[in-house]
Amino acid sequence: MKLNIAVLPGDGIGPEIVEQALKVTSAACKKFGHELSYKEALVGAVAIDAVGNPYPEETHALCMESGAVLFGAIGAPKYDNDPSAKIRPEQGLLAMRKRLGLYANIRPVTTFPSLVHQSPLRADLVEGADFICIRELTGGLYFGRPQGRSEDGTTAYDTCVYTTEEIERIVRLAYRFAMMRRKKLTVVDKANILSTSRLWRQVSQRIEKEFPEVTTDYMFVDNAAMQLIQNPKRFDVLVTENMFGDILTDEASVITGSLGMLPSASIGVHTSVFEPIHGSYPQAAGKNIANPLATILSAALMFEYAFNLHAEGKAIRDAVDASLAEKIVTEDIAEKGKAYKTSEVGEWIVKRIG
């Protein structure tokens, strides 16, 4: 098969981790007899610096014509520390999500036996935890209008908007994931307060009837935040709106022991995007110390979700498991004094795939 991908390294550690994921992608293609072609494009702060736009038209055109997008990270301290900046790197990510129609962000959370001791939670709570967060990605507070300030600047507002149609498509997708797994779905909302959440609940209760085999739980977001810590193993598939999903998935990610381990897939109308859930980690940029595994695991998801190539995805995942077992890992998860460089981890995994 011919794989055509767009590579968007972005900011901070983005370029170094994407380089490893690309090497691994290329190794998997070679092993399974696929032809890989890829083109790089600008996104984020580097794109603002180069062309004044965090998601340039050229980048969008490349994404549209590619079979998948491999994405690094976005964000830079000079913008984080300047709330008055008019053009911001994150706008690039939001524009990409909106224009590619990426309404579903899928974040699988699994624990790795060799990392359980790194979790801030007790081992008996996390061992065997295995769930998927499905976050709505193109609606809610992130995109609702009006958004802004009053003329005198002393009042600010954001608007949370959801349509029935937006809720239906993401909830159905979540049910389909639940059907392929342990058949449990938790719908997370704040229906005791928010009008949008009440629509979520109403629509979900209707769709629930289409999937009688799935057990559905409705849970308020504050309770879900607590249960994720108290009993992560109770979850199978969670589905929630954009902002709640953003918050809960960062929380969920540390359960596994490192934010550097979790991949994600964003899917929807046009080309799917595969990216680590962590950020651009500017303090580590250029030092060859960042953990490339979340991005490498995102490449595994790319084979599976974008190209329907499951043996390839599994080969990558097995090689990552082997690197963890052999402790060929970066400093965030290494024992003291035994850390490997970003590129060394990538090269080891490439060799392992063979």
Residues that bind ligand IPM (CB under 6 A): 74-75, 90, 93, 246
Sign of CA dihedral 106, 220, 243, 203: positive
Q: What is the DSSP string of 279-329?
A: ---GGGTTSS-S--HHHHHHHHHIIIIIH--HHHHHHHHHHHHHHHHTT--
For 161, the 3-state DSSP assignment is coil
Indicate which residue of 130, 250, 318, 321 is catalytic.
250
Part of the chain binding Mg ion (CB under 5 A), chosen from 100-108, 246-254, 288-296, 297-305: 246-254
CA-to-CA distance for 242 and 188, rounded, in angstroms? 11
First-to-last alpha carbon distance for the chain, in angstroms, is 19
| Residue 222 known to be catalytic | yes
Least separation in angstroms between residue 122's CB and ligand IPM is 26
Which are the contacts of 346, defined by CB distance < 8 A and separation ≥ 6? 19, 20, 21, 23, 24, 292, 296
Indicate which residue of 246, 305, 314, 321 is catalytic.
246
| Residue 250 known to be catalytic | yes
Closest CA to 132 of 239, 228, 211, 227: 239
- The 10 Å Cβ neighbour count of residue 139 is 22
Q: Return the residue nearest ligand IPM (CB atom).
A: 90
| Residue 90 binding result from Mg ion, ligand IPM, none, given CB thresholds of 5 to 8 Å by partner type | ligand IPM
Indicate which residue of 82, 222, 287, 338 is catalytic.
222
Least separation in angstroms between residue 278's CB and ligand IPM is 9
Half-sphere exposure (CA, 13 Å, Cβ side) for 31? 19
Residue with smaller CB distance to Mg ion, 12 or 346: 12
Does residue 80 touch Mg ion according to CB under 5 A? Answer: no
| Residue 142 known to be catalytic | yes
| Residue 93 binding result from Mg ion, ligand IPM, none, given CB thresholds of 5 to 8 Å by partner type | ligand IPM
Residue with smaller CB distance to ligand IPM, 95 or 322: 95
Does residue 246 touch Mg ion according to CB under 5 A? Answer: yes
Least separation in angstroms between residue 278's CB and Mg ion is 9
Residue with smaller CB distance to ligand IPM, 248 or 306: 248
CA-to-CA distance for 248 and 245, rounded, in angstroms? 5
Name residues contacting Mg ion, limited to 48-67 (CB under 5 A).
Answer: none
Q: Return the residue nearest Mg ion (CB atom).
A: 246
Least separation in angstroms between residue 209's CB and ligand IPM is 31
| Residue 246 known to be catalytic | yes
Sort residue 145 into left (φ over 0), alpha (ψ -120 to 50) or beta.
beta
Indicate which residue of 79, 142, 281, 340 is catalytic.
142
Least separation in angstroms between residue 236's CB and Mg ion is 22
Residue with smaller CB distance to ligand IPM, 75 or 108: 75
For 189, the 3-state DSSP assignment is strand
Residue with smaller CB distance to Mg ion, 204 or 242: 242
Half-sphere exposure (CA, 13 Å, Cβ side) for 84? 1
CA-to-CA distance for 132 and 108, rounded, in angstroms? 4
Residue with smaller CB distance to ligand IPM, 225 or 339: 225
Least separation in angstroms between residue 250's CB and Mg ion is 5
CA-to-CA distance for 306 and 272, rounded, in angstroms? 7
Residues within the interface to Mg ion (CB under 5 A): 246
The catalytic residue positions are 142, 190, 222, 246, 250
